[in-house]
Amino acid sequence: MYTEINLGYGNEEIKLKLPKKQVLQIIEGNHVEPLTDIPAAVKSALANPIGSPRLNQIVSKNDKVCIIASDITRAWVRNDLFLPPLLDELNACGVPDSNITLVVALGAHRHHTPEENLSTYGAEVVKRVSIEQSCALDTENFVKIGTTSHGVDTCVYKTVAHADKVILTGGIVYHLMAGFGGGRKSIMPGVSAYNSIQGNHSFCLHNVVGQGISADCVSGKLNGNTMHENMTEMASMVKPAFLLNAVITPEGKFAKFVAGHWYDAWLEGCQAVEKIFGVPIKEKADLVIGSAGGFPKDINLYQGSKTIDNAFMAAKDGGVVILLLECRDIKEPPDFSGWFDFVSLHEREIKLREGFTVPGFIALKCGLIAKQVSLIIVTLPQNKEFVANAGLIPASSIEEAMAIAEKKLGRKDYTITVMPHAANTVPVLKG
């Protein structure tokens, strides 16, 4: 008896045939019906806030309102679809568009062009409200509003600091360092100064130099996650008046909107993400076989890192992970691939401590994962040298990968877990 599964690889599918008795589980996200009427869904969320009064009891007509919105790197959030109903609600509360400023939460990303503002927020939003961009490197645009109990100065974009009311928007997904995205991430790193961002990100590294990364700053973990706790403290200093966040389906459609108290409503959104993308597993497998889901999720190794991280969670220590990642643009982006020039993981860590970057952190984490499991990447033949230099094991076919895996495991009766959409699904070990 065999189990047959199709796995995405670039624009193709690879057929996999596995002995049924060895397959522990096929991990897929839970189906959820997408919302069909976005404006109505937003209005419903605003009319039924979580842990908070409605906006008409929070804002007044003379308030200067600041809406913090995700930048173009989070284009999947579809600001253009859910921001107009929010603006309409503020208008109904007596706040005119002229009193509303949309602040682009760039973090340390580059500035938007006018065309990117238009594509990200839509013509209606661009026409109705003023738009400012919070870029962490523009140091003169930030003011200090406090210091966290962890010793990090909280410096935020001046328009946010001086607003009468601040509203957070964005999308909630699993986050490989902060546990979950959305919510307080609008403040940190969204509208925070570079020194504040660096101070917060430092908690992702182990508190002992040479020990790599923190075991507490991982997907789905909030309790004991120092990065998350520090972010929350920083956000609380801003005193956000309200939040509107979206939860997405596995297909990238809107699944749910949460609105209300900036933390309580966000937390309910995190629970929704867990129900959709967190898949319970009873035990870890000797061999995990996964795919990002094909192009564009496997366009390069940087995008494929989400697949690596999630698949690793389903594998036993000392086990094997096979991932189908075509990586047609294997060397992109340069600020990620350049980290593999540091062959030693210790060198990567020291360089990261000197100047933290998310690509650098992911490169370090990938290397550390490859020390705990045999990490085999099925990819294009021309990527072989790059993958090997990154400390991973290249293979040109699933058959070659399976042969390597069996040699590593040293037996035929190994257990298998399959993750057809490992970029989105997070294994959650019960007990």
Tell me which of 254, 276, 298 is where a domain ends.
Answer: 276
Taking only the tens place, the pLDDT of each residue in 281-293 is 999 999 999 999 9
- Could you give the count of Cα atoms lying within 13 Å of 74 in the half-sphere of its Cβ? 27
- Could you give the count of Cα atoms lying within 13 Å of 161 in the half-sphere of its Cβ? 16
Taking only the tens place, the pLDDT of each residue in 310-323 is 999 999 999 999 99
Tell me what pLDDT residue 431 has.
64
User: Same structural domain for residues 119 and 238?
Assistant: yes
User: Same structural domain for residues 7 and 139?
Assistant: no
Task: Specify the pairing of strand 426-429 against strand 416-419.
Answer: unpaired
User: Same structural domain for residues 157 and 305?
Assistant: no
User: Same structural domain for residues 120 and 247?
Assistant: yes
Write down the catalytic residue from 109, 228, 261, 421. 109
Tokens of 189: 């790193």
DSSP 55-110: GGGT--TT--EEEEEE-GGGGGG-HHHHHHHHHHHHHHTT--GGGEEEEEEEETSP
pLDDT band at 11; cut points 50, 70, 90: very high
Helix ranges (H only) for 294-357 are 301-312, 334-337, 345-354
- What's the CA dihedral at 61, 66, 67, 71 to 10 degrees? 160
Question: Which residues, 6+ apart, have CB-to-CB distance to 424 below 8 Å?
Answer: 29, 250, 277, 293, 306, 310
User: Same structural domain for residues 102 and 201?
Assistant: yes
Tokens of 45: 């969320």
Q: Which of 113, 117, 104, 236 is nearest to 159 (CA)?
A: 104
pLDDT band at 366; cut points 50, 70, 90: very high
What pTM does this model have?
Answer: 0.90
112 is catalytic: no
| Phi and psi angles of residue 409, each rounded to the nearest 5 degrees, phi first | -75, -30
Q: Is the dihedral of CA 49, 190, 32, 30 positive or negative?
A: negative
Report the pLDDT averaged over residues 141-166: 98
C-alpha span between 254 and 64 (Å, rounded): 29
Q: Is the pLDDT of residue 371 over 70?
A: yes
Taking only the tens place, the pLDDT of each residue in 90-139 is 999 999 999 999 999 999 888 999 999 999 999 999 999 999 999 999 99
User: Same structural domain for residues 329 and 401?
Assistant: yes
Tell me which of 253, 276, 299 is where a domain ends.
Answer: 276
Are 175 and 169 spatial neighbours (Cβ–Cβ below 8 Å)? no
Chain mean pLDDT for the chain: 95
Amino acid at 212: G
Write down the catalytic residue from 112, 175, 228, 261. 175
Tell me the residue range of the domain where 43 lies.
38-276
User: Same structural domain for residues 268 and 311?
Assistant: no
Tokens of 76: 């999947």
Q: Which of 27, 5, 26, 9 is nearest to 276 (CA)?
A: 27
Tell me what pLDDT residue 75 has.
81
Tell me what pLDDT residue 137 has.
93
User: Same structural domain for residues 244 and 115?
Assistant: yes
Residue 169: strand pairing partners: 244
C-alpha span between 125 and 118 (Å, rounded): 8
Are 324 and 7 spatial neighbours (Cβ–Cβ below 8 Å)? yes
C-alpha span between 141 and 155 (Å, rounded): 10
What's the domain count of the chain?
Answer: 2
User: Same structural domain for residues 236 and 114?
Assistant: yes
Give the three-class secondary structure for 319.
strand
Indicate the length of the chain as a whole number: 431
Taking only the tens place, the pLDDT of each residue in 411-422 is 999 999 999 999
Tell me what pLDDT residue 325 has.
98
What kind and span of H or E run contains 39?
helix 38-47
Are 67 and 281 spatial neighbours (Cβ–Cβ below 8 Å)? no
What CATH number has the domain bearing residue 24? 3.90.226.30
Tell me which of 276, 304, 327 is where a domain ends.
Answer: 276
State the DSSP code for 393: E
Question: Which residues, 6+ apart, have CB-to-CB distance to 140 below 8 Å?
Answer: none
Question: Which residues, 6+ apart, have CB-to-CB distance to 80 below 8 Å?
Answer: 120, 121, 122, 124, 125
C-alpha span between 286 and 302 (Å, rounded): 25
User: Same structural domain for residues 59 and 111?
Assistant: yes
- What's the CA dihedral at 303, 308, 309, 310 to 10 degrees? 100
User: Same structural domain for residues 336 and 422?
Assistant: yes
User: Same structural domain for residues 140 and 155?
Assistant: yes
What CATH number has the domain bearing residue 242? 3.40.50.11440
Are 192 and 107 spatial neighbours (Cβ–Cβ below 8 Å)? yes
CA distances from 141 to 66, 136, 155, 164, 225 (A): 15, 9, 10, 18, 29
